Amino acid sequence: MADNEVCAGCLRDNEEEIAVLWCNDCEEPVCRPCGKAHRRFAIPHDVIDIKDISNVSKTMSKICKEHAGQKLIFFCVYHDKILCPACLSELHKECDINHIEKAANGIKDSSAIHDLKERIHNQKGVIKKVKEEYHELSSKIGEDKEQQQERLIQLRSTIEDRLNLLDKNIETHYKQGVEKISSNTEQLESLAQTTQANLQDIEKADTEESEVNLFHLVKRLDTSQLSDEENLQFLENDISNMSLEFIPENYIEKVDAILNELGKDAQTTSFKSQQSGTKTRQSQLRLHLDEQQILDQTRIFHAGECTKFYACCFSDDNKVGVIEKQSVIDDHSSLFSFTIESIYLRIINLKDCKSRAFKLDRKYNSICKDTICWFDRNNILIVQDDSVHVIDLELEDIFRTIKVIHFNGRSSIWPVTCKWVTCIESQILVFCDGKWISWIDYNGKSVKRVEFEEDVNDLDIFGDKIYCSLRNVHEIKYTTFTNYTQTCYTSLDLRKSCRIAAGDNMIFLMEKERNTIYRIDLKTKQRSTFHKDEITNPTHIHFNNKTKELAVTFDEGNSLKIFSV
């Protein structure tokens, strides 16, 4: 603190007295008489020696900016915000609230302060590097004038040549475009007629024909439909490939914008050393908690019309299984309309990116759409209520149903609700009631059971550990098959109820609200972030430790991407 600090209270009365005390409640320096008065308030203020207050505490306001005089004493976990009593009563009545002292407990040992220090330290390095490059740019700015003028002459000549060429070719390109559109339109008309005929055939056969005839028709139409879809895709893509070379109406604005961009590029390319700029950009990436790891996009798949992707999982032969739900509004009735929902299972072959889907019986519409697991290459597991269903991919139907039973005491049976399923070799592991995992064999016989100490939101298994994200704690824990529980990662800024995928010495956490996927190195406890604008509203993740690929369903289930990690 400065030696000549002046009492804030006296200063408001046009007097100057040296401050020797500090009022923590008012957050201002006070002289000894004023400090005595502050201690005698109806609710005594916390007044300490001014030498005991740090510069950080002096400049860090603990008074609410929105509600004058109200102290910030609460922390909203959901909104990640410090609140005063007025904030709490106005906007946060239904939120998870902690007192500031409870929220701050353990902050010195958490990764949050380590991450923040790293970000500040890295920012110092970036600032230093940028200042050096600005200095370098300043010394080189006058060296390029003659070179830029020569390039400007070349650019002007190039533009003139291009405009002359456009003038000669515009009629030719126009005629070619019209002819191509005419030809493609004829093909679209033919496709429309074929599609309408196929739709009529399948709707009529669905109600009038025998199953054998219907099967023949489905197989014939499926082949025809595949060919038509490929033709339609070609015609659809051909639209974007068509272009006419002409001068647009807003060419002045576009050329001006291009020249502005060229000006920016000219400044950038005036550097002799590009390596320093690269290092700067690398340093900037580390401003996000830790070094930002970019997951390389490999493949993307889109759900069909009125269809959404839900849980997905990898097989050991480079396939992905995905649960789909189709919702179609039936408004044939003049009085009412209602939504018809159907559940499909889609199998995507990542080798050739081809897929097939088949519809499950309507009685399975209430399956848990948040979990799916390959049992072997020909069978997939899903859960519904108190049962595990085994789907035969060759028969394209439920082949077997296994009941999950929980015994209470010697003879009583509790009803259970299955929330998640996976398998280890021939044994099936089922997560039940948000509290425990039941090991069962293929006949439904119970092998063993693992209990969880807290309410689990999501889980994944790697090796002999069950990694769990919890509903009400900013921690990730694992429980071994022998019921030993250990915290493996904690961070105060980690949102609750995130989805989890586990791999070798690493886990992935998905926070839907932040459109973010975190990668946690379990050895170093370091967290890296993958956060891109095109990954919005993610819903499910699954990691293939064998191929090091991460599957992400996003855009509220409208898309699926496969990333190489």
d(CA 398, CA 387): 12
Q: 295: helix, coil or strand? A: coil
Instruction: Cite the DSSP H helix spans in 242-333.
Output: 251-269, 275-285
- The percent of residues above 90 in pLDDT, for the chain, comes to 25
List residues bridging with 165 in a β-sheet.
Answer: none
Are the CB atoms for 530 and 516 separated by under 8 Å? yes
What is the structure's pLDDT at 336?
A: 60
The answer to whether residue 515 is domain-embedded is no
| Same domain for 177 and 94 | no
Give residue 197's pLDDT band: very low, low, confident or very high (50, 70, 90).
Answer: confident
What is the structure's pLDDT at 297?
A: 46
Q: 274: helix, coil or strand? A: coil
Is the pLDDT confidence value at 425 over 70? yes
d(CA 21, CA 10): 13
First to last CA, the chain: 50
Structurally, the chain folds into a number of domains equal to 3
Longest dimension (CA), the chain: 102
| Same domain for 158 and 212 | yes
The answer to whether residue 468 is domain-embedded is no
Are the CB atoms for 156 and 164 separated by under 8 Å? no
What are the pLDDT digits (tens) for 301-321? Answer: 888 888 999 999 999 989 999
What are the pLDDT digits (tens) for 26-74? Answer: 888 999 999 999 999 988 888 899 888 876 666 667 788 888 878 888 9
Task: Give the domain CATH number at 64.
Answer: 3.30.160.60
Reduced 3-state DSSP string for 117-129:
HHHHHHHHHHHHH
- The percent of residues above 70 in pLDDT, for the chain, comes to 84
Give residue 1's pLDDT band: very low, low, confident or very high (50, 70, 90).
Answer: very low
d(CA 206, CA 208): 6
Q: Are strands 21-23 and 47-49 parallel, antiparallel or unpaired?
A: antiparallel
Structure tokens, 215: 């099967």
The answer to whether residue 533 is domain-embedded is no
Q: Which residues contact 521 (CB under 8 A, 6 or more apart)?
A: 505, 506, 527, 528
| Same domain for 149 and 70 | no
Question: Judging by beta carbons within 10 Å of its beta carbon (0-12, 13-18, 19+), is residue 562 exposed, middle or buried?
Answer: buried
Q: Residue 435's closest CA among 458, 417, 451, 415? A: 451
Are the CB atoms for 371 and 437 separated by under 8 Å? no
Looking at residue 205, its amino acid is A
DSSP state of 555: T
What are the pLDDT digits (tens) for 103-151? Answer: 888 777 777 777 788 888 888 888 888 888 888 887 777 677 777 778 8
Give residue 291's pLDDT band: very low, low, confident or very high (50, 70, 90).
Answer: very low
| Same domain for 159 and 88 | no
| Same domain for 229 and 144 | yes
Mean pLDDT of 79-96: 88
For 325-351, b where at least 16 C-beta lie within 10 A, e where not — what string? bbeeeeeeeeeeeeeeebbebbbbebe
The answer to whether residue 55 is domain-embedded is yes
What is the structure's pLDDT at 550?
A: 92
d(CA 110, CA 112): 5
Structure tokens, 424: 């280890």
Among the candidates 237, 263, 286, a domain finishes at: 237
Question: Judging by beta carbons within 10 Å of its beta carbon (0-12, 13-18, 19+), is residue 510 exposed, middle or buried?
Answer: buried
Backbone angles phi, psi at 511, to 5 degrees: -110, 105
Higher pLDDT, 58 or 217: 217
**CA dihedral of 281, 284, 285, 286, whole degrees rounded to 10:** 130
Give residue 2's pLDDT band: very low, low, confident or very high (50, 70, 90).
Answer: very low
Among the candidates 69, 101, 133, a domain finishes at: 101
- The DSSP string of 378-418 is TEEEEEETTEEEEEETTTTEEEEEEE--EEETTTEEE---E
| Same domain for 142 and 46 | no
What is the structure's pLDDT at 259?
A: 66
Q: Domain range spanning residue 228?
A: 120-237
d(CA 64, CA 67): 5
The answer to whether residue 505 is domain-embedded is no
| Same domain for 96 and 126 | no
Mean pLDDT of 245-257: 64
Are the CB atoms for 507 and 522 separated by under 8 Å? yes
d(CA 398, CA 352): 27
| Same domain for 124 and 97 | no
Among the candidates 72, 101, 130, a domain finishes at: 101
| Same domain for 230 and 124 | yes
d(CA 27, CA 55): 12
Mean pLDDT of 312-338: 81
The chain-wide mean pLDDT, for the chain, equals 81
Higher pLDDT, 246 or 330: 330
The answer to whether residue 192 is domain-embedded is yes
C-beta neighbour count of 128 within 10 angstroms:
12
Q: 418: helix, coil or strand? A: strand
The answer to whether residue 431 is domain-embedded is no
d(CA 166, CA 173): 10
Is the pLDDT confidence value at 272 over 50? no
| Same domain for 195 and 125 | yes
Does the CA dihedral 357-363-365-370 come out positive or negative? Answer: negative
Place of tokens 């995507």: 348
| Same domain for 212 and 183 | yes
Give residue 501's pLDDT band: very low, low, confident or very high (50, 70, 90).
Answer: very high
Q: Residue 509's closest CA among 564, 473, 458, 466? A: 458
Q: Residue 61's closest CA among 28, 31, 30, 34? A: 28
What are the pLDDT digits (tens) for 358-380? Answer: 999 989 999 999 999 999 989 99
| Same domain for 216 and 137 | yes
DSSP state of 109: G
The answer to whether residue 410 is domain-embedded is no
